[in-house]
């Protein structure tokens, strides 16, 4: 007997969240309930990233097939595959137009075509944080909200904007790269070519790097310092970690204030692995935002954690299958 509760009457889709570090794949129903999940590393020496995405999808489809067969004695059709991926996605083509050095060699991948050919199912591909916004609109803090911003603090920093009820894609799908808002025009160089980008201060990668630099300046060498350890040490009152995190909060406060001034949103959702630090992190961000935003524009703005933390990207990836089934494209 499987421990999975399988509903023979529900329709299911595959959701895949491709981040700089992990690929999370799962089977999700139309209400965003997760039936099963699988997580693998995005980059491993022996396979290219598109092949690893296919591996993750094969794994969840195989497990779903045996679960469905156990429950019903027959195979059940999946409705489609939805992908949310790091990188700048040409969302009508479903291809990766460009990817920063966080996923080397990924740019140019015709992901939608590859998955359609391999699995024979309808496929939707969008940026990872654009699909996170879909989860928030459908299930989370964005329900009934017409103006919503999402920021995901992960391996990189990603963003999405829903404005006047519409997910903003820009000319071909690259809109919402909030991680590359510069918060210091003379700051450290960024993988995108600019300087002082929010991502340098608020991503897991950026936090870990700045903590290692800070310790090195103090004559301390800790080779494997990561963002989680840095956040834990900040919560414990460690002075070096507190300095690093103070910069993180200032950078976030500055970027979010600019976003509020640009978009006049009602809700700002903060997700990604770094945001799993929880309430303490959120209240520091809120404080920094309040210091830097015009009072009239700050009034009523809600800064809130992402629905179901790190799984919300995968859920939103799958939700595309129902959200866009009629039009064939995002709205």
Q: Which residue is nearest to ligand BMX (CB)?
A: 156
Using rule CB under 6 A, residue 152 touches ligand BMX: yes
SS3 state at 155: coil
Shortest Cβ 269–ligand BMX spacing (Å): 14
List residues near Zn ion by CB under 5 A.
Answer: 180, 190, 192, 194, 197
Nearer to ligand BMX, 122 or 179 (CB): 179
Q: In Å, what is the CA distance from 197 to each residue of 188, 201, 304, 316?
A: 8, 7, 22, 26
Q: Which is nearer to Zn ion, 121 or 191 (CB)?
A: 191
Measured at the alpha carbon of residue 157, what is the angle toward residues 154 and 162, in degrees to the nearest 5?
Answer: 115
Residue 208 found at the interface with ligand BMX (CB under 6 A) = no
Which one-letter DSSP state was computed for residue 319? H
Determine if 129 is a binding residue for ligand BMX (CB under 6 A). Answer: yes
Interaction between residue 274 and ligand BMX (CB under 6 A) = no
Longest dimension (CA), the chain: 64
Q: How far is the C-alpha of 200 from the C-alpha of 195, rounded, in Å?
A: 9
Residue 102 binding ligand BMX, by CB under 6 A? yes
Of the pair 102, 323, the CB lying nearest ligand BMX is at: 102
Two tokens at 157? 């920093």
Q: Cα–Cα distance between 278 and 298 in angstroms, integer?
A: 22
Q: 158-191 burial, b if ≥16 CB within 10 A, otherwise e?
A: bbbbbbeeebebeeebbbbbbbbbbbbeebeebb
DSSP secondary structure, 52-90, as one string: HHHHHHHHHHHHHHHHHHHHHSS------EEEEESSEEE
Q: How many helices (H) and strands (E) does the chain have?
A: 10, 12
CB of 14 to ligand BMX, least distance (A): 18
Indicate whether 68 belongs to the interface with ligand BMX (CB under 6 A): no
Question: Which string of x and - marks every residue 156-175 that binds ligand BMX (by CB under 6 A)?
Answer: xxx-----------------
CB atoms near residue 22 (< 10 Å) = 18
Q: Which is nearer to Zn ion, 165 or 170 (CB)?
A: 170
CB of 60 to ligand BMX, least distance (A): 19
Report which secondary-structure segment, H or E, holds 317.
helix 312-323
Per CB under 6 A, which region of 50-58, 97-105, 208-216, 321-329 contacts ligand BMX? Answer: 97-105
115 is an interface residue for ligand BMX by CB under 6 A:
no
By CB under 6 A, the residues from 32 to 51 that bind ligand BMX are: none
Size of the site for ligand BMX (CB under 6 A): 21
Binding stretches for ligand BMX (CB under 6 A): 19-20, 86-88, 99-100, 102-103, 127-129, 152, 154-158, 177, 179, 199
């Amino acid at each position: 007997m499987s421990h999975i509760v399988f509903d023979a009457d529900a329709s299911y889709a595959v959701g895949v969240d491709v981040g700089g570090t992990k690929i999370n794949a799962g089977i999700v129903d139309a209400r965003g309930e997760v039936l099963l999940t699988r997580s693998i590393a995005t980059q491993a020496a022996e396979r290219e990233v598109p092949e690893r995405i296919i591996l993750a999808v094969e794994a969840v489809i195989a497990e779903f097939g045996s679960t469905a067969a156990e429950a019903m004695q027959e195979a059940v059709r999946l409705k489609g595959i939805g992908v949310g991926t790091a990188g700048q996605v040409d969302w009508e083509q479903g291809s990766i137009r460009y990817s920063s050095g966080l996923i080397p060699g990924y740019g140019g991948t015709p992901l939608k075509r590859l998955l359609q050919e391999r699995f024979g199912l309808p496929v939707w591909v969008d940026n990872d944080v654009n699909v996170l916004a879909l989860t928030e609109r459908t299930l989370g803090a964005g329900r009934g909200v017409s103006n919503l911003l999402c920021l995901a603090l992960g391996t990189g920093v990603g963003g999405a904007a829903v404005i006047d009820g519409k997910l903003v894609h820009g000319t071909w799908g690259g809109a919402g790269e909030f991680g590359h808002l510069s918060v210091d025009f003379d700051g450290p160089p960024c993988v995108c070519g600019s300087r002082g980008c929010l991502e340098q201060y608020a991503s897991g990668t950026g936090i870990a790097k700045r903590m290692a630099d800070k310790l090195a300046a103090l004559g301390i060498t800790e080779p494997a310092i990561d963002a989680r350890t840095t956040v834990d040490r900040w919560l414990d009152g460690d002075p070096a970690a507190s300095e690093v995190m103070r910069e993180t909060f200032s950078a976030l406060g500055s970027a979010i204030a600019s976003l509020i001034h640009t978009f006049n949103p009602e809700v700002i959702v903060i997700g990604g692995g770094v945001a799993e630090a929880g309430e303490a992190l959120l209240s520091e961000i809120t404080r920094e935002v309040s210091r830097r935003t015009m009072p009239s524009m700050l009034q009523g703005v809600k800064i809130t954690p992402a629905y179901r933390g790190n799984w919300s990207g995968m859920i939103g990836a799958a939700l595309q299958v129902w959200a866009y089934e009629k039009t064939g494209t995002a709205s």
